[in-house]
A and B are shown apart, each in its own frame.
Chain A
C-alpha cells in the first residue's frame, strides 16, 4: 500500500527547526548522510512532512524528489504524524487468526481513517503491528501503553474503549 501522507496542518516549532538544521550541519559532509538525517528528523518531528523534507532537500542541495523517494521506500519513515493516542492493532499470526483483521476494519470505520493515518483533530493515529508478545490475549490492540485483549471486533466494544480517551 502506498505511503500515507497526512493532510493535517504542520505545527513544527522554531526550536524543532533549529534542532533539524543543527543535525544537518553535523552530518552534511558524511557520505550517505541522507538517511541518518531523515531518521533524526523523524525523531524530532515524529514524522516527515513536506515542510521537513523540503528543509532537508534545500540544505543538502538535492532534489526534493530524492528525499521523497527514500521516505516512501523505507518502512521506517512515515509521513503521517502519530496521534495523542497511538492505536496499534496486532496483525501478527496469532492475532490475525483470532480475528484482528476484523478489529482493524472496524477501527478504520469508527475513526474514518486507514491504517497509517491520523484523525484530522490529531487525536488518534492507527497503525498495524506484528506481535506485541501477548498472543495469549489475541486479538490484541494497544493504545499508547494500555493493552486490550480478547477483542471481538464489535462496534460497542471498540466504542467503549475509544470513549476512555475522550479528553
Chain B
C-alpha cells in the first residue's frame, strides 16, 4: 500500500496515493479539470495550460498546472476560483488567436475538445488577441488522411501517439515559437514518410487538425448511379463502435441497426466482413499448417492489419517472408464480391462498386495497393471509416436509434464467432487456433473447448503454447506497433521461437482502430476503450452455435462451388497477395 496524502479539493477532503497529480486527485472529489494536451501516460507535458488550478502548500495560493503537479500533504486546491477561470480564459483566447475557427464546416464540430471547452469557459470574444496568424497548406499527400495545421493547437497528442504508442515517430514539432508546427523530417509531406496509415494520431487529436480522407460523397454518388451495383461490407469492429456516435454506451453491439441503416442508405447488397474473416482463417490456417509441416518460413505472422503490414515493409523488411500471403478479410471479401458473387448474380465486375466500412484508416491505403485486384478491378473501391458511416447516417436523416434490427444479406453475411472476434487483439489467433487444433488433431472441438483465453485481453504482448497431436505450437500476440517492435526484435535476436504471431497495428486491435469514433481525452484517460469494445464481440461469440470458421456453411459452399481446396490454385490466385520492402528514411 503506497503512502497516502491528504488534500482538500475546493474544501472537500480526499486522500490519494503519494505522487498523484492534482488532476487525478480532483477526480476523487468528482471534479473534472479541463485539459487539452494531457493524455494519460503518453503525453503528460503541461503545455496547454487549460488545467490551471490554485494550489496552496502553506505559502499561499499559486497557479499550477494540475496535470503535472503532484499533490502534497495538506495541500489545498481551488479548481474554480475567479483567478483560475480568468487564467484559463486568457490561455484559451491565446490558443484561439491562432486557430482557424471554421467550426461550421469542421469535421470535428460538436465533437471538438477545443470548441467544447471554449464554450464551457464562456469565451465571449474569441478574437480577443487577434493578430498575425500562421497559415499552412493542408497536407493531403497521404492516402488516408488530411493534416490541417491551421487548426492545430500544438498539444502534441498526435506526436505522442505516433512516437510512444506506435514507436514510429514520423511526426514531431518543427521550428520554435510562433512558427512551431507539427510535421515530418525536412518538412516532407506525410505521404512521403514511413507513416503506416494507422490513424492513431487522428483518434487523439482534440481538434479538426487531423482527419480521415472523407469519401462519403463518392459513396452517395455511387448509390445514386443506376448502372452500378453497390455492395457494402462491414468489419467486425464497426458494430462495436458505431453506436457511440448515436449515444449508446461504449461497448454496445449495434449490428442489427447498422445492417438496417446500410440498407436504408441504399446499398444494393449488405455483406459482412466477418464472412471474409472466416475465409481468411481457412486460408491462413491452411498456410500455417503447410508451413509447419513442409518447413516453411516461421514464425508466420498475420497480415490482416494493413497498418502492421506497412510497418513490416518499412521497419522489418527482412521479415516480409514471415508475413502470411493471405489478403486481409476486407480484400478477400472484396475479391469474392467481384468474382464468385458477381458470377452468381450475373454482374460484370466493372459495374460493381465495392465499399467497405472499416474501423481503420490504413484500409484506405490497403485497397489501393498493387496485387489487390482479383477480378481485374480493385477488390475494394472505397474504404470508409466507422466515423464516415456515422456521417452518412446523419446526412441521410436516419434516426439510428429507432431502426429495427436487420440481418446481413446471404450468403456473404453468414459468419461464425471466430470471424466476429477478429476485431479484438488475439481474435485472429483464437480463430486460427479453433481451426488449426481441429485440423491437426483430426478431432472435432466441442463448443465448450473453444475459448483460448490466454490470447485474449488488452496486454500489449501475450504468449501461449499449445500441444496438439504431439505438435507444440508456440504463439504470440502483439497489438500497438511499439509492442510489435519489441516482440519482433526478440524474434530477430533469436530469443523466442514462435510458430505463429498475430500483430495488430492498433493497441487492443481493430476495436480501437484509427477509424473508430473519437472519444475525448476526458473519456480516453479513464475508460479502457479497448476492453469495453472487445466485450461487445466476445459476448456475442460466446452465445453463438457457429463458432468455427470451418463450420460456416456459406464458406463450405464457396469452396465446393467455386474455390476448390483451401490453399488451392484458385484460392491463391484470388485471395493471396505480395509485399514490397520500403525504406524508413528517404
Contact = CB atoms under 8 A, between A and B. Distances in A.
Contact of A5 (B176, B186, B585): B186
A73 interface: yes
Contacts of A74: 176
B576 to A, nearest CB: 33
B183 to A, nearest CB: 8
B175 A65 contact: no
Interface string A59-102: 00011111111001110000000000000000000000000000
A128 B174 CA distance: 22
A121 interface: no
B172 interface: yes
Contact of A72 (B163, B170, B171, B176): B176
A50 B585 CA distance: 10
Nearest to B176: A73
B470 to A, nearest CB: 41
A2 interface: yes
B175 A63 contact: no
Contacts of B193: 65
Contact of A63 (B168, B179, B186, B187): B168
Nearest to B170: A65
A65 B179 contact: no
Contact of B186 (A1, A50, A66): A50
A69 B186 contact: no
Chain A interface bracket (under 10, 10 to 19, 20 to 34, 35 or more): 20 to 34
Given A63-B185, A65-B170, A68-B185, A3 B175 contact: yes
Interface string A101-144: 00000000000000000000000000000000000000000000
Nearest to A69: B172
B189 interface: no
A68 to B, nearest CB: 4
Contact of B185 (A1, A58, A65): A65
Contacts of B584: 64
A54 interface: yes
Interface string B193-236: 10000000000000000000000000000000000000000000
A88 B467 CA distance: 75
Contact of B175 (A2, A53, A57, A67): A2
B322 interface: no
A1 to B, nearest CB: 8
A50 B192 CA distance: 15
28 contacts: A1-B179, A2-B179, A53-B185, A54-B585, A57-B585, A58-B585, A62-B169, A63-B163, A63-B168, A63-B170, A63-B172, A64-B185, A64-B186, A64-B584, A64-B585, A65-B169, A65-B170, A65-B172, A65-B183, A65-B184, A65-B185, A65-B193, A68-B185, A69-B174, A72-B174, A73-B174, A73-B175, A73-B176
Given A64-B585, A65-B183, A72-B175, 9 more contacts: A2-B175, A63-B170, A63-B172, A65-B169, A65-B172, A66-B163, A68-B185, A69-B172, A73-B175
